[in-house]
């Protein structure tokens, strides 16, 4: 991951992950579409084969978006008691939109943190 000989100034992993940029140079795009990773950076050529965010972004999104949506549903129900169809009309699309945005941001940030800290799979040393 960080074994290359190219020298780039360090970039903030949260900012680059939030913007969906390359974790090494901060210029090239990380995503090809909404959530699919590109094979490599178009600016610096970094191979994204190391990137494996796994289920981490989904867990964070479920917890954060769930807290926001359920809190909003409860607040609206206690204060105004609207009919159930209004809850569905308001919070159905809001849940989907927030989840997709947050999933992209969390995935970008976790991949940038993987690169920054040179994270890789655990290996057993057989000496």
Contacts 24+ apart (CB under 8 A), 41-45: 44/6, 44/8
pLDDT at position 99 is 96
- Judge contact between 57 and 110, C-beta under 8 A: yes
Region 18-40: what's the mean pLDDT? 93
- Judge contact between 107 and 16, C-beta under 8 A: no
Is the pLDDT higher at 50 or at 82? 82
pLDDT at position 5 is 57
What is this structure's pTM?
0.83
Region 5-12: what's the mean pLDDT? 80
Region 44-58: what's the mean pLDDT? 90
pLDDT band of 39, cuts 50, 70, 90: very high
């Amino acid at each position: 991951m960080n074994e290359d000989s190219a020298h780039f100034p360090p970039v903030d992993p949260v900012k680059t992950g939030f913007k969906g940029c390359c974790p090494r140079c901060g210029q090239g795009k990380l995503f090809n579409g909404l959530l699919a990773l590109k094979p490599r950076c178009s600016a610096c050529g970094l191979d994204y084969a190391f990137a494996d965010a796994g289920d981490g972004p989904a867990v964070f999104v479920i917890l954060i978006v769930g807290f926001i949506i359920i809190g909003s549903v409860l607040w609206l129900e206690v204060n105004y008691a609207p009919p159930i169809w209004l809850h569905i009309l308001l919070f159905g699309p809001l849940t989907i939109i927030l989840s997709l945005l947050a999933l992209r941001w969390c995935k970008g940030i976790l991949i940038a943190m993987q690169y920054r800290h040179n994270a890789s799979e655990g290996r057993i040393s057989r000496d």
